[in-house]
Chain A
């Protein structure tokens, strides 16, 4: 328990009585629609991203008979990921990890150069919030109309507009949730199944879940996701320096800000007419003139808003612009400073990115299409046979990642004269075992290896299983051991 003085306690009580709580209510943001080049770029990116997202599952890709025809398919139930002509197995999951590393380092590089472009333009939260705000503005009207409606009494018009808005939102959210599912199951099939009620419970559940999250995050939570939920704004400052381009209010030009017309304010006034257009346009509800801040997603809508005002007050545009902190300091001092894209931090990010790209593509190109795994039987450890030889059992798994039906030859190195046989088949032990292997599958065989006493050393000895592709002669080796009792070869030698 903390000890506080009587005076402090009384102060605290006064504050509480005044309603100064530890928890603040959300201040609703009513962004005003803006027009301009930034807004147009944002619309273009939004349309592109959403088109890709909604239509990609419908793109078909021919892979041969009996194989999925969807270009991008994360077939979790069959443990295969398909990306056009690339097919990934669970064993290749590290490629996905590598891809995430690429994404992260790429994000670091872009952020250190141009600030939070990801947040402002391509983050799904931003894209869908933008779309939902557009619907809101279309149904309910612009900022002032919406604010009046929310402040006024509830009448039929309010109920109808809110009803319509939420239903359109839910419709978009449902479409989004449905499209998400299509990345995991065949799109045309699941669409038919969904509407005929024959889809799996998981399909309905996840469609519902992603419908709900889309509606909640893009319709209700909006900028709170960026400010409170997302970790990225918290550590993105580690990537920024004074050479990073960010949305910047040029204080040296704008201050002292003065409300009203220029000729009334006098010559000492700055360019900023303090109209608040940049504040009302901001989707996160901040004032860019306070400088770079956590909540700023770098979308630049305030630039469009301000340019419009600057035009109407016959001043130079770009009072709010993209610029670096260093250049702003120089401009304030009346100097002009160049842009420095090549800096130690960007070189490091770029190097890491290039190394990751090269490493990943090399690994992707050279990844083996055949996998061999051998597990020795734990019990019995070995079986002495009636004819004096010694046998060990192994479980052999052959993964054929190619689309071709291949034949393999399995042999054992390090055990002269050893014979192999597949346990379930009719036993006809051979030195070279021909293994059939279906395409795109893992086949499991129980292989019994029998060694003549002459080939044995005492106890356990290392052996290699060698799998040879009959068509190409390419070999895959798996190290294993062959176990036997000490002194076995000596007593069976006669």
Chain B
């Protein structure tokens, strides 16, 4: 601190007494109001420390005098929404499908809830809007293996297919090739027959009578004389334009040799009955419902 405060000749301002190569630094102090605002922010910060969660303890933390918690706020919000939907969801749980469809307001709740539930749980396999993905049925296509009425769909969603649920829909196509029931040549022949008879393709004029005999001996019990399938057994309709595992001859060969048997979880273990009814109504509305 210089004892004698020097004033700059040109500006008339005081200098700090610092000098570099003849250049002197002017003393331009921060305004008082700035200082007071700065002090006020320190006081403010102390208040914030006390009121809001601030100091970590290692395993826990100081919660603050206001008990502010965003997690608790989210829980409360979710609880509020659940309570708000409760009356509608209770009605959906107890009313019959026909009664729900007769109530447009309730139907709107059911379809909205069903759409969200579908997007969260079903979409990864069944695709957006139930468009299907290879190996997972297209729900919008109307090619039902286990039936497409509302109660059929509800049953399938609740208990699943080949799931751990004792009431799950069960079907097991024999491993004709892997178990040695049919020889590779026979499998080729029956696959040719199925493809030529039931699948979409330009006419080939191929003789498939050998395959027809093998089909009659081994397949008609479940898939029917005309490939119409048997829903009670979960045997798919072959005479269809939509096939679960693909439309090529190779997929038929593969399926006869060592059938893929998809599994659908029993959603009854995860979703409440009202939500399952809502998602059932949504799936039914996608265009494939019976």
Chain A residues contacting B289 (CB-CB under 8 Å) are: 427
Instruction: Output the least CB separation between A209 and chain B (Å).
Output: 28
Number of A-B contacts (CB under 8 A): 73
Q: Is A383 an interface residue (CB 8 A)?
A: yes
Chain A residues contacting B288 (CB-CB under 8 Å) are: 385
CB within 8 Å for A492 and B200 given contacts A384-B141, A386-B141, A424-B285: yes
Secondary structure at chain B's binding surface: helix, strand, loop or mixed?
Answer: loop
Q: What's the interface size class on B, roughly?
A: 20 to 34
Chain B residues contacting A426 (CB-CB under 8 Å) are: 101
Check if A491 sits within 8 Å of B201, measured CB to CB.
yes
Instruction: Output the least CB separation between B236 and chain A (Å).
Output: 10
Max chain A CB contacts within 10 Å: which of B10, B131, B143? B131
Check if B107 sits within 8 Å of A385, measured CB to CB.
no
Check if B241 sits within 8 Å of A383, measured CB to CB.
no
Bound CA span A383–B237, Å: 18
Check if B240 sits within 8 Å of A386, measured CB to CB.
yes
Q: Is A60 an interface residue (CB 8 A)?
A: no
CB within 8 Å for A385 and B200 given contacts A379-B131, A423-B286: no
Check if A380 sits within 8 Å of B129, measured CB to CB.
yes
In chain A, positions 424-475 with a C-beta closer than 8 Å to chain B are 424, 426-427, 446, 448
B140 partner, pick from A378, A380, A424, A494, beta carbons under 8 A: A380
Q: Is B142 an interface residue (CB 8 A)?
A: yes
Residue of A nearest to B199 (CB): A491
Q: What's the interface size class on A, roughly?
A: 20 to 34
Bound CA span A423–B281, Å: 11
Residue of B nearest to A387 (CB): B241
CB within 8 Å for A391 and B129 given contacts A385-B141, A386-B141, A386-B143: no
* Per-residue A-contact encoding for B111-143, CB less than 8 Å = 1, 0 else: 100000000000000011111100000101111
A384 partner, pick from B111, B130, B203, B242, beta carbons under 8 A: B242
Max chain B CB contacts within 10 Å: which of A9, A381, A385, A492? A385
Check if A386 sits within 8 Å of B127, measured CB to CB.
no
Chain A residues contacting B129 (CB-CB under 8 Å) are: 377, 379-380, 383, 393
Residue of B nearest to A383 (CB): B140
A494 partner, pick from B101, B138, B141, B203, beta carbons under 8 A: B203
* Per-residue A-contact encoding for B217-244, CB less than 8 Å = 1, 0 else: 0000000000000000000010011100
Chain B residues contacting A381 (CB-CB under 8 Å) are: 131
Check if B202 sits within 8 Å of A383, measured CB to CB.
no
Chain A residues contacting B131 (CB-CB under 8 Å) are: 379-381, 383
Q: Is B87 an interface residue (CB 8 A)?
A: no
Chain B residues contacting A448 (CB-CB under 8 Å) are: 287
Max chain A CB contacts within 10 Å: which of B127, B129, B237? B129
Q: Is A124 an interface residue (CB 8 A)?
A: no
Max chain B CB contacts within 10 Å: which of A13, A378, A388, A427? A427
4 smallest beta-carbon distances between A and B, as pairs:
A380-B131, A379-B128, A386-B143, A388-B241
Interface residues, chain A, with chain B CB atoms under 8 Å away: 6, 9, 13, 377-381, 383-388, 391, 393, 421, 423-424, 426-427, 446, 448, 490-492, 494
Interface residues, chain B, with chain A CB atoms under 8 Å away: 10-12, 101, 107, 111, 127-132, 138, 140-143, 200-203, 237, 240-242, 285-289
A-B contact pairs, 19 of them (CB 8 A): A9-B10, A380-B130, A380-B138, A384-B141, A384-B241, A386-B142, A386-B143, A386-B241, A386-B242, A387-B142, A388-B241, A391-B140, A391-B287, A423-B285, A423-B286, A424-B285, A491-B202, A492-B200, A492-B241
